[in-house]
Amino acid sequence: MKHLLRVGLFFLLALMGWQALYLAKFWSPVLVPSPVSVGRYLYEAAIEGTLGDATLVTMRRLLLGYGFGIVLGLPLGLLTARFRIAKDTLGLVALGLQTLPSVCWVPLALLWFGQSETAMFFVVVMGTLWSMIIATDNGVRNVPPIYARAARTMGSSGLQLWLRVMLPASLPYIVSGMKQGWAFAWRSLMAAEIYVTILSGFGLGNLLHYGRELNAMDQVIGIMFVIIVIGLVADKILFSPGEKYLHRRWGTAK
């Protein structure tokens, strides 16, 4: 309780300091709005529905592309870990493309798919897929060989060995790959949304972009704030439970 109070106090003081600097006219109010006006923007946008709609549009794009990237990347990663030929072909492609910031796919996606949801989906998948393949491959390669040997003496082989031993044994790597994939996907989607307008739905990146066009700094900062909160929440809801579970099971908790 005391701890929470301290944490709350930190953020309250930060906000008060910001407001004080604003009132002291330290910066031009056009460039740095007051926390009060940012709060007012967020409140009004929430009431009006634009904020909720934009968040939904963004999250739908993100989850669709991310989910697809994970579901596709996992078996492909197992494939590159299992077969040398897959490693030297697909594995090499994955390694190369992973180094490409996924926002670089945006021009190509626009030419291929037009200003459509498909283009957004494509960019997010490109952000997720490669790091997922590499993490899975890496995870399997780091499984202590003794696990497979022990399993084989108990009659495990083939698909059963892969699903019941290799896959769970590489979970710690796979989860950190999923986390990295999430970060890449999230960044690439934001970049894509700021970069292009897609008429089928305005995401958070679009709102951010229009905030700049309208010189509405309260909107820009407000949306940035929302983006940060989504990132934090995703970490706490999506990854924290999984990581905690792994740390408990593997005994690697601090």
Partner 1 sequence: MSLQTNPRNEAPAKLSVQGVSKRYRTGGREVHALDNVSLEIGEGEFICLVGPSGCGKSTLLNIIAGLEVVDDGRLLTAGVPITGPGRDRMVMFQDAALFPWLDVMDNVLFGLKLKPGLSNTERIEVAQFYLQLVGLENFTKSYIHELSGGMKQRVALARALAPNPRVLLMDEPFAALDALTREQLYGDLQQIWQQHRKTIVFVTHNVREAVCLGDRVALFSPNPGRIREQFKIRLPRPRDISSIELARYAIDITAALKGEPRTAEEYAI
In the complex, the smallest distance separating the C-beta of residue 168 from partner 1, rounded to whole angstroms, is 4
162 binding partner 1? (CB under 8 A): no
Nearest to 175 by CA among 238, 97, 101: 238
Q: How far is CA 3 from the centre of its chain?
A: 29
Please, which residue, 157 or 197, has the CB nearer to partner 1?
A: 157
In the complex, the smallest distance separating the C-beta of residue 172 from partner 1, rounded to whole angstroms, is 9
* Angle, CA of 194, 197 and 199, to the nearest 5°: 145
For residue 174, the tally of other CB atoms under 10 A from its CB is 25
150 binding partner 1? (CB under 8 A): yes
26 binding partner 1? (CB under 8 A): no
- 231-250 residues in contact with partner 1 (CB under 8 A) are 248-250
Total chain residues near partner 1 (CB under 8 A): 21
DSSP 3-state of 199: coil
Measured N-to-C along each axis, helices 171-195 and 106-113 cross at an angle, to the nearest 10 degrees, of 70
Q: 126 and 102 in contact (C-beta within 8 Å)?
A: yes
251 binding partner 1? (CB under 8 A): yes
Please, which residue, 29 or 168, has the CB nearer to partner 1?
A: 168
Piece in contact with partner 1 (CB under 8 A), picked from 88-96, 116-124, 164-172, 217-225: 164-172
Please, which residue, 212 or 249, has the CB nearer to partner 1?
A: 249
169 binding partner 1? (CB under 8 A): yes
d(CA 248, CA 235): 18
168 binding partner 1? (CB under 8 A): yes
DSSP 3-state of 179: helix
Q: Per the structure block, which two tokens stand in for 155? A: 């009659």
Q: How far apart are the first and last CA of the chain?
A: 23
Quick one: which of 154, 159, 199, 237 contacts partner 1 (CB under 8 A)?
Answer: 154
In the complex, the smallest distance separating the C-beta of residue 86 from partner 1, rounded to whole angstroms, is 25
Q: Where along the sequence are the contacts to partner 1 (CB under 8 A)?
A: 144, 146-147, 149-156, 160, 164-165, 168-169, 171, 248-251
